[in-house]
């Protein structure tokens, strides 16, 4: 008999959480599990990408302009779903950390429930422990049976604050669709590129991604091209810095690309200058495409050691500059070939164990 699983999220539009959720839904064994997906908004480009056997339910909150009526309607709806789903599932997961009513439903729909944590909230809240605790306490994190993190770093930073919840905390990396990445990487790119080519892929957000560190470090070198792929609130900041450093002929902001993989495939180096990450997806994509990297993200991982696939450095200009100098002079040797099939297999085995076993 199939075990019943309920997963909750916001929608299935383009985004990191949404992409990883769709990958999970396409890889989980539907011969073992009957999946129900509860979305606050049943919308998004990825809706058509999930298996037809998965039941999708919309949990749409009221947007009534009258605050009192809105609260009454939403409270009654929440009670209805709690009663409807009460202990009806073998496993439930709130896949988007920030959700409100869905997190409550997750806890009531099964005693074997989990909250996914996709980012390192210690850094999201700029090391303000009180604000971090306010965020997690509001979601009653202690009442979840399991808390799932996508990296060891975010797990350990959480445990340092919530020491009594240590036994509930597990690392479960996001599933990456490696077949899709390899296939899409073969598409042609329109831009003429120079060698050596350095590629950065990510949100243009100085607080987390620290792209100024990359630009400052590259200002010490000649004869290269760097393509920065992505969009975000600090685009103007980086345009001004590139102009100030007279690097317009070397560093180009390409904006967001639906398919960044051909750029990674054609690169000589992928670089990540983040102050913090949840799960370094771009590094795994580089590993899948057998590209070396320089990364200031230093966290270890239960599924692989980043040091086997690139150069891990401190998050400062001196360290990044020295690593780039080594790259330009000697290149970066990848110690091991990444076994992406084994990586996926181990994640799915861990997921099944979490679904099957309730934590103490």
Could you report the per-residue pLDDT of 201-259, keeping only the tens digit for each? 998 999 889 999 999 999 999 999 999 999 999 999 999 999 999 999 999 999 988 89
Residues 60, 101 within the same domain: yes
| Residue 297 reports pLDDT greater than 70 | yes
pLDDT surpassing 70 at residue 57: yes
Q: Are residues 239 and 167 in the same domain?
A: no
| 191 and 309 both lie in a single domain | yes
Task: Find the CATH number of the domain harbouring 57.
Answer: 3.40.50.2000
Q: Same domain for 150 and 216?
A: no
- When the pLDDT of each residue in the chain is averaged and rounded to a whole number, the result is 93
Q: Are residues 294 and 183 in the same domain?
A: yes
Q: Say yes or no: 210 and 240 in one domain.
A: yes
Choice among 183-192, 292-301, 316-325 with the minimum mean pLDDT? 292-301
Share of the chain above pLDDT 90, in %: 79
Do residues 9 and 145 both lie within one domain? yes
Q: According to the model, what pLDDT value does residue 235 have?
A: 95
Confidence of residue 360 (pLDDT cuts 50, 70, 90): low
Q: Do 26 and 102 sit in the same domain of this protein?
A: yes
Residue 154 near residue 124 (C-beta atoms within 8 A): no
Do 192 and 155 share a structural domain?
A: no
Mean of pLDDT values over 257-264: 93
Measured CA to CA, the distance from residue 276 to residue 303 in angstroms comes to 19
For residue 180, which phi and psi values (nearest 5 degrees)? -65, -40
pTM beyond cutoff 0.75: yes
Q: Is the pLDDT of residue 359 over 80?
A: no
- Structural domain count of the chain: 2
Residue 11 sits in the same domain as residue 160: yes
* 113 and 228 assigned to the same domain: no
**For position 300, what pLDDT does the model report?**
66
**Same domain (yes/no): 246, 327:** yes
Smallest CA-to-CA distance from 212 within 132, 147, 288, 296 is with: 296
Please give the residue that has the higher pLDDT: either 193 or 51: 51
Q: What average pLDDT score do residues 257-281 get?
A: 91
The mean pLDDT value for 190-205 works out to: 91
Whether the predicted pLDDT of 15 surpasses 90: no
CA gap 330, 276 in Å, rounded: 28
Q: Assign 273 a pLDDT band (cuts: 50, 70, 90).
A: very high
Q: Where are the alpha helices (DSSP H) in the chain?
A: 16-27, 67-85, 101-109, 121-124, 129-138, 152-159, 178-184, 206-209, 211-218, 235-244, 261-265, 281-288, 317-330, 340-356
Tell me if 145 sits within 8 A of 111, measured CB to CB. Answer: yes
For residue 302, what is the DSSP state? Answer: S
Q: What is the mean pLDDT of residues 38-63?
A: 92
What is the model's pLDDT at position 113? 97
Residue 85's Cβ-count burial label (10 Å; 0-12, 13-18, 19+) is buried
Q: Using CA atoms, how far apart are residues 156 and 250, in angstroms rounded to an integer? A: 39
Using CA atoms, how far apart are residues 261 and 231, in angstroms rounded to an integer?
A: 16
State pLDDT tens for residues 89-108.
Answer: 999 999 999 999 999 999 99
Q: What is the pLDDT of residues 142-179, one digit of tens each?
A: 999 999 999 888 999 999 999 999 999 999 999 999 99
Contact between residue 102 and residue 8 where contact means Cβ atoms under 8 Å apart = yes
Q: Which domain covers residue 276, as residue numbers?
A: 178-338
Percent of the chain at pLDDT > 70 equals 99
CA distance 6 to 38: 7
């Amino acid at each position: 008999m199939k075990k019943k699983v309920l997963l909750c999220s916001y929608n299935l539009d383009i985004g990191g959480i949404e992409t990883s959720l769709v990958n999970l839904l396409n890889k989980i064994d539907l011969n073992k599990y009957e999946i129900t997906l509860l979305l606050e908004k049943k919308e998004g480009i990825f809706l058509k990408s999930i298996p037809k056997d998965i039941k999708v339910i919309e949990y749409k909150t009221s947007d009534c302009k009258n605050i009192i009526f809105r609260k009454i309607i939403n409270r009654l709806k929440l009670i209805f779903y709690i009663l409807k789903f009460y202990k009806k599932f073998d496993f439930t997961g709130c896949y988007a950390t920030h959700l409100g009513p869905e997190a409550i439903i997750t806890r009531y729909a099964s005693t074997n429930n989990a909250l996914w944590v996709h980012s390192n909230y210690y850094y999201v809240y700029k090391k303000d422990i009180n604000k971090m605790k306010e965020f997690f306490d509001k979601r009653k994190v202690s009442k979840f049976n399991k808390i799932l993190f996508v990296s060891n770093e975010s797990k350990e930073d959480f445990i340092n604050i919530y020491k009594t919840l240590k036994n509930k905390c597990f690392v479960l990396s996001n599933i990456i669709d490696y077949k899709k990445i390899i296939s899409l990487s073969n598409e042609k790119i329109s831009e003429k590129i120079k060698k050596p080519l350095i590629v950065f892929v990510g949100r243009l957000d100085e607080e987390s991604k620290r792209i100024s560190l990359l630009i400052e470090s590259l200002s010490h070198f000649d004869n290269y091209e760097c393509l920065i792929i992505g969009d975000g609130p600090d685009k103007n900041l980086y345009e001004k810095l590139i102009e100030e450093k007279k690097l317009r002929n070397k560093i180009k902001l390409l904006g967001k690309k639906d398919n960044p993989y051909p750029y990674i495939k054609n690169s000589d180096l992928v670089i990540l200058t983040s102050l913090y990450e949840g799960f370094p997806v771009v590094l795994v994509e580089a590993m899948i495409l057998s590209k070396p990297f320089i990364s200031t993200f230093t966290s270890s991982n239960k599924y692989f050691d980043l040091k086997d696939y690139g150069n891990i450095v401190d998050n400062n200009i001196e360290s990044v500059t020295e690593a780039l100098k080594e790259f330009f002079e000697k290149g970066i040797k990848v110690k091991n070939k990444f076994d992406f099939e084994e990586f996926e297999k181990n994640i799915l085995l861990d997921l099944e164990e979490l679904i099957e076993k309730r934590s103490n």
